[in-house]
Chain A
C-alpha cells in the first residue's frame, strides 16, 4: 500500500510526454534579461550598472533584507540596461539586461563534470554558500532556501523531506534530473541534512516514476539516513503539507509552517542547486525547464540559463505550433498563462506548456448545483463553493473563519467542478484580500 495524503485529491491525465528524452543543453542566447525579483520577498538591488562587463556566475543583484536572494549573471557580456522590463504577466519589473559575448565564467566556479563528495562541512559554511548562491525553492514557490534552513528559535527540525513528486501533469524536469543527476542530488541532500542537523531524509517520489525510484534507491543504498519513499499517484501529492502528511503521517496545523511538526521540505532541484553551490561554487544561474504540449514538435527538457527569453526556449522545442492558443508558465494545474513570451525564464520556471484552443479553453460558468465535488476533492478540507460565494460578496471575516488562508491554490476544485465554475480564481482573490486584511490588523 503506497503512502498518500488523507483527504481529497484528484487524478488529472498525466500527459508526461517528455519523460523519455535526455536533458538537452540550450545554447546561450544573444541577450538575457535577468529580473531582480525572482523570489518571494524583497527584490535584490542591482550592483552593476550600464556598460559594465560581467562574467557568468558574477553577482549582479544583492539580496536586500532577510527574505531575499542574490541574483547572478547567467552569461558573460556587457550590461546594456538596468531598467524595468515587462514580466510574463506584462507588468514592469526591475531587470538587468545583458548582451552576451562569449561564455566566460568567474574563475572560482568548477565547471568540470567530476563529482565532489566531501560533504563534511560545518553547518554555517553550507548555509552561507547557499545564501551567497541565491538559491530559492526550485519547485515554483521560489522561497529563499537559506531562510527555510534557519528554523525560528525554539523549533527543531527532525526530518528532511525532499520533494521529487512532480505531481503536475506534463512536467518532467524533476524526473529527468533525478535520473541524470541522481548522485549529485543525493550529495546535495546530505549537505541539506548537515545544514539543518537532522539524521533522516526521505525523498518522496510518485509511483509513476519507477525508473527514478529504483535509480535513487540503488544510489542511496550506501548512504546513511536517506530513504526513498514511493508515493501514490494523486494530485496534489507534491503540495508541501500533503507530502509531509503522506510521509510522516503528521498534519501541519492550520496557519503553521512545516517546522511545527519538525519537517523541512526541499525540492530535488533545490538539492541539486545546493550541491552545485556548495561543492562546485556555482551560483543558481541555470535550471532545467520542460517545454511541452501535445502539438509541440520536439518537446523535451532543456537546461537553460536564467534570463533566456521564453520565446527562445520554445524555438528550441521546434517553435510554437500553429494551433497554439495559450502558453502556460509551469504546469497545467497551477501554472499561469504567459502574456509576453519575450519575458525571461526565472529561477522558479519549471515548465512551459503550449496548449491549443481546445485544451486551453475555459468553459462558460454555470450555476452551482451543490454537488459538493469540490469539497470532496479539496486536499485542505475546505469548502470551495462557499469560499467562492464569500469572495464574490467580499465577506473577508467570514472567509477567514472558513480558513481561506489554508488554501494551497492547487486548483483541484476548479478541475473537478461539473459546472465549470472559476472557483480557484475567486478564492485566490479572496485569499489575497483576506491576507491583506490580516496584515493590516497586525500593524
Chain B
C-alpha cells in the first residue's frame, strides 16, 4: 500500500517539476509570430497547391503580411475574392487581377497528326520526352501520357478520349500552374480567362519551319505571318516560325482566326458566326448559349459541339 502511495507522489512530483521546467523553457524560446499570419492563413483556401509561387498557403500568408503591397501576390485558387478579404484584414488595398486559365496549345489529335510509332515505355511524358521525338513527327507537341492530369490538384484537366489531348475545365481550373510546370514540352500556358470566358490563342508550339511542321501535323502553325499582318492591334508576333498572341493586347476581333491557313488559331466560347459561304474553312463551333457556362471539356454525348474549333482546311 505504502509503495503505491510513494509511487503516486513521486510521479506527481516529477510531473509538476517537468511542467515548471517546460513552462520556463517555452517562455524563453518563444517564437514571436505576427498573429495576422494566422488570420490571413485562415482566409486562404488551404489547398497548399503552391500555385501562388510560395510554399503553401502559410508561405503566402507570411509574404502577404510582410510585403508592403499586395500587388504581386495572388492566390489563384481563392482569386480576387480571397485577396479582397486578405486586404481588408490587413488594412490594405488590392488591385484586382484578371483571372487566368490554363490553355493547352496543341491540337495534334490522331486525325491532325498521324501516329508513326507506338510508345510502350513508362507512361510519363517526361520520360517519353527524354527518350525521343514521340509517337508523331512533331518534336514539340503533346505526348499524351497525362503528366499534366497527374499534376493537377483540382481535377481540372483531363485527357479527352476523342482527341488524346488534355482538356481544361473552365470552372475547375484556378490557374495554379501545376500543369504548366509538369509539361515537359511547355505546351500549357496561363492566359487571361477573357470576358465571358472568350479567348483567342494559337494552339500550336511547333518551332520547325513551315513545311516540316505542316508535314508532321495538319493544324500546325507554319509561321506564315498572315495573322500578324491581319491583326489591327499588333498583338501577334511571329518568332521561330511560331505565332504568339499577346493576351493583354488582343481585343478578340477574331480576324486572325479567319485568316489562318491551317486553323492553328483557336477561338473559344464565342457565339456562332454568321454563316459565310466564302470562308467555309473556319467552321466555328461554340456553345449554343452565349457562354454563361462554358463547357469546352464536355464529353457528354449529344453535346458534340465543343468550344474549340476542330474543322481544318
Contact = CB atoms under 8 A, between A and B. Distances in A.
A92 B133 CA distance: 9
Nearest to B134: A90
Contacts of B120: 361-362
B137 A90 contact: yes
Nearest to A392: B124
A429 B126 CA distance: 7
A339 B133 contact: yes
Kindly list the 7 A-B residue pairs having the minimum CB-CB distance in the complex, ordered from nearest.
Answer: A90-B133, A422-B122, A89-B132, A425-B122, A362-B120, A425-B127, A429-B127
Interface in B104-144: 116-117, 120-124, 126-127, 130-134, 137, 139
A429 B133 contact: no
> Which of A90, A91, A92, A432: most chain B CB closer than 10 A?
A90
Interface in A300-350: 336-337, 339
Interface string B56-71: 0000000000000000
B142 to A, nearest CB: 16
B131 A89 contact: yes
**Category for how many chain B residues contact A:** 10 to 19
23 contacts: A89-B131, A89-B132, A89-B133, A90-B134, A91-B132, A91-B133, A91-B139, A92-B139, A336-B131, A339-B117, A339-B133, A362-B120, A362-B121, A365-B123, A425-B121, A425-B127, A426-B124, A426-B127, A428-B130, A429-B124, A429-B126, A429-B127, A429-B130
Nearest to B138: A90
Contact of B124 (A89, A362, A425): A425
Contacts of B122: 365, 422, 425-426
A90 B129 CA distance: 11
A258 interface: no
A422 B131 CA distance: 14
Nearest to A88: B132
A426 B126 CA distance: 9
Interface in B265-301: none
A90 B139 contact: yes
A422 B126 CA distance: 13
A86 B126 CA distance: 20
A77 B154 CA distance: 60
Nearest to A362: B120
Interface string B14-28: 000000000000000
A88 B124 CA distance: 20
> Which of B122, B127, B139: most chain A CB closer than 10 A?
B122
A10 B158 CA distance: 41
Given A428-B127, A429-B127, 14 more contacts: A89-B131, A89-B133, A90-B137, A90-B139, A91-B133, A336-B131, A337-B132, A339-B132, A362-B121, A365-B122, A429-B124, A429-B126, A429-B130, A432-B130
Nearest to A338: B132
A425 B208 CA distance: 28
Contacts of A88: 132
A362 B119 CA distance: 10
Nearest to B139: A91
B132 A422 contact: no
Given A425-B127, A429-B126, A90 B121 contact: no
Contacts of A90: 132-134, 137, 139
A37 to B, nearest CB: 16
A384 B103 CA distance: 36
A88 B121 CA distance: 17
A89 B119 CA distance: 12
Contacts of A361: 120
Interface string A417-443: 000001001101100100000000000
Contact of B121 (A86, A92, A422, A432): A422
Contacts of A365: 122-123
B217 to A, nearest CB: 14
Contacts of B131: 89, 336-337
Contacts of A336: 131-132
Contacts of A428: 127, 130
Contacts of A91: 132-133, 139
A424 to B, nearest CB: 9
Interface string B132-163: 11100101000000000000000000000000
Contacts of A422: 121-122, 127
B133 A86 contact: yes
Contacts of B139: 90-92
A425 B132 CA distance: 13
Interface in B26-57: none
A362 B122 CA distance: 9
A194 B174 CA distance: 66
A163 to B, nearest CB: 26
A198 B120 CA distance: 47
Contacts of A429: 124, 126-127, 130
Interface string B228-257: 000000000000000000000000000000
A90 B124 CA distance: 18
B310 to A, nearest CB: 27
Nearest to A89: B132
Contacts of A426: 122, 124, 127
Nearest to A432: B130
Interface in A178-212: none
A336 to B, nearest CB: 7
A422 B116 CA distance: 23
A98 B178 CA distance: 47
Contacts of A89: 131-133
Interface in A338-379: 339, 361-362, 365
A280 B134 CA distance: 43
A74 to B, nearest CB: 25
Interface string A78-101: 000000001011111000000000
A91 B117 CA distance: 14
Contacts of A92: 139, 208
Contacts of B134: 90
A361 B121 CA distance: 10
A86 B117 CA distance: 15
Nearest to B116: A339
Interface in B195-226: 208
Contacts of B117: 339
A382 B79 CA distance: 45
A9 B46 CA distance: 48
Contacts of B132: 88-91, 336-337, 339
B42 to A, nearest CB: 29
Contacts of A362: 120-121
Nearest to B137: A90
Contacts of B124: 425-426, 429
A328 to B, nearest CB: 13
A412 to B, nearest CB: 17
